[in-house]
């Protein structure tokens, strides 16, 4: 059950409490969320005669990005939305990409626009992201949606933290008053996650690479969300017994047998016996991200109606 390489400092803790190490099945949650979205798409079309449409833009030939955009397009299609792919050569200029975004912004059949990151050198990703109409910014990475999240206003929320929040609310219900600690302060996950949890009434701390003694804070967390990209960073003695642990990290590492496997930022085998609930890697947060992109596309389609109403 555990492969602790350092002695457990709190054996009594790990044995007590009502429940320990419950796996949060993100894959199953994402399946049911996609089913719900597919039903909502049917109902939305029945009521308004509109089918939500998502445009995904890929520039260049990064193999991982090609897989991501293909999966996004396929899942969009599977829930009954329109899916548009724009695959542009590595030599695409920033000006040409801005022209395409302008055209997609103006296209009434497109409700969501996603430009796959990273972009080739010579293209300013921030300028591109901000050029997307905030009402179509289904990645939630533009300045306006970041501002709306910070101000506690409705808007389009970055997919990964939105997925984490859905899992947390499904497991814990109302989050008000819980101590949440977010490890990692990125624009993509850490900061929006912290703001989302703050808006839900959590007491929120953000721990990052400059933090002197991160364990002192992580050990107080009822909710611990980890998004650092450092595999196995979170050890058993970083976690409060009974905490809900959400592991956003995903890294491919070699195994003893010469193959590779995917691991998270949390040392799962150590932490699972202590945590109340924990997401595995893979099968935890990962499947939620694309499902939330679809959710955001539906939200964006609704926004397009309220705008023209």
Catalytic residues: 72, 116, 139
Is 170 within any annotated ligand binding site?
no
Query: Toward its own copies, which CB reaches closer, 6 or 213?
Result: 213
Tell me whether the omega of the peptide bond preceding residue 80 falls within 30 degrees of 0, making it cis. no
- 217 contacts its own copies (rule: CB under 8 A): yes
Query: Toward its own copies, which CB reaches closer, 81 or 223?
Result: 223
CA distance 34 to 54: 15
- 88 contacts its own copies (rule: CB under 8 A): no
- 32 contacts its own copies (rule: CB under 8 A): no
Q: How far is CA 262 from the centre of its chain?
A: 17
Q: Measuring CA to CA, how many Å separate 125 from each of 112, 130, 132, 240? A: 17, 9, 11, 38
CA distance 179 to 223: 6
Query: Toward its own copies, which CB reaches closer, 69 or 248?
Result: 248
Q: What angle do CA 266, 267, 272 make, to 5 degrees?
A: 90
- 204 contacts its own copies (rule: CB under 8 A): yes
Name which of 236, 235, 238, 242 is nearest 275 in CA terms. Answer: 242
CA distance 137 to 140: 5
Least separation in angstroms between residue 98's CB and its own copies is: 17
Size of the site for its own copies (CB under 8 A): 37
Contact 130, 142 (CB under 8 A): yes
Q: Is 88 strand, coil or helix?
A: strand
- 221 contacts its own copies (rule: CB under 8 A): no
Among 113, 149, 189, 245, binds its own copies (CB under 8 A): 149
Is 16 within any annotated ligand binding site?
no
Least separation in angstroms between residue 244's CB and its own copies is: 16
Least separation in angstroms between residue 211's CB and its own copies is: 4
Non-local CB neighbours of 80 within 8 Å, separated by 6+ positions: 38, 41, 42, 45, 51
Least separation in angstroms between residue 180's CB and its own copies is: 10
Residue 5, judged by CB atoms within 10 A of its CB (0-12, 13-18, 19+), counts as exposed
Among 83, 205, 244, 279, binds its own copies (CB under 8 A): 205
Tell me which stretch binds its own copies (CB under 8 A): 31-39, 79-87, 92-100, 211-219. Answer: 211-219
Q: How far is CA 93 from the centre of its chain?
A: 29
- Residues of this chain, 156-195, that bind its own copies according to CB under 8 A: 176-177, 179, 185, 187, 191-192, 195
Is 250 within any annotated ligand binding site?
yes
Residues annotated in a binding site: 184-186, 209, 250
Q: Which residues bind its own copies (CB under 8 A)?
A: 126, 142-153, 176-177, 179, 185, 187, 191-192, 195, 198, 201-208, 210-212, 214, 216-217, 220
As annotated, the binding site for NADP(+) includes 184-186, 209, 250
């Amino acid at each position: 059950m555990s492969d602790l390489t350092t002695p457990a400092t709190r054996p009594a803790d790990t044995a007590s409490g009502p429940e320990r190490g419950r796996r949060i099945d993100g894959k199953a949650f994402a399946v049911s969320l996609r089913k719900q979205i597919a039903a909502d798409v049917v109902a939305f079309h029945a009521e308004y005669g509109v089918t939500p449409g998502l445009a995904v833009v890929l520039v260049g030939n990064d193999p991982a990005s090609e897989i991501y955009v293909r999966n996004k397009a396929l899942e969009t299609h599977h829930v009954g939305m329109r899916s548009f792919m724009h695959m542009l050569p590595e030599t695409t200029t920033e000006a040409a990409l801005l022209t395409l975004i302008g055209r997609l912004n103006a296209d009434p059949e497109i409700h969501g626009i996603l430009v796959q990151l990273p972009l080739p050198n010579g293209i300013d990703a921030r300028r591109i992201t901000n050029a997307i109409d905030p009402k179509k910014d289904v990645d939630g990475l533009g300045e306006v949606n970041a501002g709306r999240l910070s101000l506690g206003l409705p808007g389009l929320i970055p997919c990964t933290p939105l997925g984490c929040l859905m899992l947390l609310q499904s497991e814990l219900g109302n989050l008000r008053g819980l101590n949440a600690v977010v490890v990692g302060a990125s624009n993509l996950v850490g900061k929006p996650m912290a703001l989302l949890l703050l808006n839900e009434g959590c007491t929120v701390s953000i721990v990052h690479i400059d933090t002197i003694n991160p364990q002192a804070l992580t050990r107080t967390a009822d909710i611990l969300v980890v998004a650092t990209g450092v595999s196995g960073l979170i050890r058993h003695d970083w976690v409060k017994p009974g905490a809900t642990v959400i592991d956003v990290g995903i890294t491919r590492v070699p195994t003893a047998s010469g193959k590779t496997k995917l691991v998270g930022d949390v040392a799962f085998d150590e932490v699972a016996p202590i945590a109340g609930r924990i997401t595995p890697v893979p099968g935890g947060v990962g499947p939620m991200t694309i499902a939330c992109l679809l959710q955001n596309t539906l939200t964006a389609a609704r926004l397009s109606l309220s705008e023209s109403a």
